Structure 1
Amino acid sequence: MLKEIVPTAVEKILTDDSSKLHQTAVSPADTSLKPLKGELAETVAADSTKAGKHKRRDDTSTVRYSALFRDTIPLSRMTAISLIAPGFSQLYNKQAWKIPILYGVTGGLAYLGFQQSSKYKEIKKEYNSLVSQNAAQEQLDPVQCEMIRYNTRRTVFFVGAIASYLYFLCDGVLNYNGPENSVKKATTLSTLCPGAGQLYNRSYWKVPIVVGAFATMGYVIDWNARGYNRYRKAYNQVVNGEPDEFEGRYSADYLKNMKDNFRRNRDLCIILTGALYLLNIVDAHVDAHLKDYDISDDLSVRLEPTVFQNYTMTRSTYGVGMSLKVAF
């Protein structure tokens, strides 16, 4: 038998209220929420715009917002331009106040070096003239001392000018604000000045070795070059029948052999210096990589027995042995 169930008045009221709430929440015809949705979308868009602007303003490693340099210049390109136009790296790094110091120091030392060089050449002409006139040693000594004095000053000023030039190149690399890592900086510094990459990597004990090696090779090259020029001049004088500094004590064949030996040693030392220069760059590059290489403290070595299987053409056999396991 079927019985009709009639809802009570309270149930009717609850049912009507729930249906109205459902229609209010899901009805597409209701436009009362449209202004709220629009305001919410505008707020999200404004926040995202502000976040994007803030990110672009803070992220200076990829884009530079400057009147002169809009985009980031790679470290290698900046250094190459600075080699031709000193001071470019300081201008790029927003340290233009260093440029007058660069040109003042480097230009002043170079000017003094050329000034001492011109005086040295004048004294050297006077010395050669006295030698050609067979002057006494008492007349040659003061002129020779003055010539050595001007030559020493010239060398000091020129070395100072080159050192200041290299210093400002390295300063531009150290203050570079681009996305380059420490490995690229160390390699570039060693390319510009041997030993600078080791100093940047804080491998201080390597710096005296690198500098000492290059200083030694430079001295050996200079010594062999002077010996080569000396014996070549004496050989040419003997061949042409002119008096030489050895006063005829050595034959032309002996002078030729000495000349060739000094030239061979000089060329070999130049090749070794080039190899040393490349080794210096490789060492700085590898050392910079190893500085960032993280090795865990949890290192363990275990020696334990193991069973292994050998395969042959006819059958397989098992064997017992020891295995060494290293965990890191």
Structure 2
Amino acid sequence: MAHPRLRYLVAALAALLLWLPATAQLPRGPRTLVRAGLMDKPDTLKAERDSLRAMQLYALFDSLSREDYLADSMALRSLRTDDIVTLDSIARARFLLGYTAADTAKRHVFKKGWFMSDSMGISKVCWLSTVIPGYGQIYNKQYWKLPILYGTVGTGLALFIHENKTFKPLKREYDAYTNTSLSRTPELDALQARMIRSNTRRQLYLGITLASYIYFIGDAAVCYSTNEVSSVKKATTLACIFPGAGQIYNKSYWKVPFVVGGFASMIYCIDWNNRGYQRFKKAYALLADYEAHPDKYPDGPTDEFKGRYSADFIRNLRNNYRRNRDLCIIISGALYILQIIDAHVDAHLKDYDISDDLSMNLEPLVDYTYVPTLQGNRPVFGFNMSLKF
């Protein structure tokens, strides 16, 4: 027969375990894998129905704010007594004490449908900003940036359209003159100089317009804070918007000159080869027409080289310039994809844990589970196995 004091000690320990709060579980780090083995028997069909009811109750409580709970809303008045019992101590403590003003602000601040929704991701915001200038600033509620955006883009576009109206007549006059003869004359030189100056101003205004437009798309991505976005996602998005922006976001500044310099070199090579292609294309057209209809040119060939080179030689030069231009375009596309991959991988490596802390920990676990047959909670004993890597 057991000693009376021993019976009292066992009863006291059992009462302590029954009232032990579920929050007594050991904390788990963000980089810890947990495998819990609970020594419990399978539930009956009634337990499964009660479990389904518990899931519905969790969804109800998650849809309510703490103020609604404390105000004894109609939704809560409709609950049965056993429904409240079904929610274990963890859920009740999480609901009563876990909701703060900051948590409530993060949960569904606004919901206005497909076009303006709080569930919209950063990629969709950037795509809509591309189609609708200023959408990202409106979505991020930074309305003060809209006058700057529309001012710079609108002014640059207006100046470009105005200068383009000046450039077009000069270009038509130059083409009409060079389509019949490429002989250098003072009139042709003066016309070409005016056309080059007008084209330079036109390209400058277009560059300002595009730079402002792309900048505000990137600004929408940088200032996006509606939902949690990983640094990898944001760096990749910025790299897609503008080459080098992902490297700047990752603070890999030493890579920016290589990316920007590579793109600047490719743009220069594309323009250089395209001008050479257009030059020899026109010369070949004039020389081929002279060889096909010599009677139309009593003064001889009118191409730039005055017949010093054969049509086959000029055609080969034309094809070489075109081939080099197309190759530079392909290289530019490859460089664009490469800098996106670099920004994506670099962002991943920024958060890569290179610590040597590799450990395994096995600890006891005491938890509570609701048992329908007993109409209450009972302790369940098991273990926690944590792996850190």
**TM-score higher than 0.5:** yes
Deviation for aligned residue 1:96: 1.9
The answer to whether residue 303 in structure 2 is matched with residue 249 in structure 1 is no
Matched, 1:181 2:237: no
Residue 142 (str. 1) matches residue 187 (str. 2): no
1:165 aligns with one of 203, 213, 224 = 213
Amino acid at match of 1:175: C
Equivalent residues of 1:64, 1:70 under 8 A apart: no
- Asked if residue 57 in structure 1 is aligned to residue 116 in structure 2, the reply is no
Distance in 2 separating the partners of 1:109 and 1:66: 36
Encode CA deviations 1:24-71: one digit per residue, 9 max, x unaligned: xxxxxxxxxxxxxx9xx9xx98994685474652325xx332668443
Residue 263 of structure 1 and its aligned partner are, at CA, apart by: 1.1
The answer (yes or no) to whether the contact 2:182–2:303 under 8 Å persists in 1 is no
Give, in whole Å, the separation in 2 of the partners of 1:207 and 1:253: 44
Q: Does 1:223 align with 2:272?
A: yes
Q: Equivalent residue for 1:296?
A: 355
Moved more, 127-136 or 201-210: 127-136
Equivalent position amino acid for 2:232 in 1: V
Q: Closer, same or farther in 2 for the Cα pair 1:157/1:298, shift >3 Å?
A: same
The CA RMSD over aligned residues, in Å, is: 2.8
The CA deviation at 1:267 is 1.1
1:110 to 149, 153, 157: 157
- Note the 1:1-328 alignment, pairs <5 A: 48=95, 51-52=98-99, 54=101, 56-60=103-107, 63-65=108-110, 69-128=116-175, 137-177=185-225, 178-241=227-290, 243-296=302-355
1:249-278 per-position Cα deviation (integer Å, ceiling 9, x unaligned): 111111111111111111111111111000
1:116, distance to aligned residue in structure 2 (A): 1.0
The answer (yes or no) to whether the contact 1:123–1:147 under 8 Å persists in 2 is yes
Distance in 1 (CA, whole Å) between partners of 2:154 and 2:250 is 31
Q: Which runs of 5+ in 1 are unaligned?
A: 1-37, 300-327
Cα separation, partners in 2 of 1:70 and 1:271, compared to 1, 3 Å: closer
How far does residue 125 in structure 1 lie from its aligned partner after superposition? 3.1
Q: CA deviation at 1:128?
A: 4.3
The range that moved more, 257-266 or 123-132, is: 123-132
1:100 to partner: Cα distance: 2.4
Amino acid across the alignment from 1:200: Y
Moved over 6 A (4+): 44-47, 133-136
Deviation per CA, 1:162-191, whole angstroms, max 9, x where unpaired? 000010000000000021111111101010
- Distance in 1 (CA, whole Å) between partners of 2:206 and 2:259 is 21
Distance 1:180 1:252, change over 3 A: same
State the alpha-carbon separation in 2 of the partners of residues 46 and 179 from structure 1.
25
Q: Could you say if the C-alpha distance between residues 148 and 249 of structure 1 is closer, same or farther in structure 2, counting changes exceeding 3 Å?
A: same
Would you say the 8 A contact 1:64–1:72 is kept in 2? no
Look up the equivalent residue of 2:201 and give its one-letter code.
R
Cα displacement (A) at 1:120: 1.3
Change in CA separation of 1:240 and 1:49 when aligned onto 2, cut-off 3 Å:
same
- Structure scoring higher RCO (CA < 8 A, sep ≥ 6) equals 2
Larger Rg: 1 or 2?
1
Structure 2: how far apart are the matches of 1:47 and 1:226?
Answer: 69
Letter aligned with residue 173 of structure 1? A
Aligned length: 257
Residue identity over aligned pairs, in percent, reads 48
Letter in 2 for 1:260: N
Deviation at 1:287, TM superposition (A): 0.7
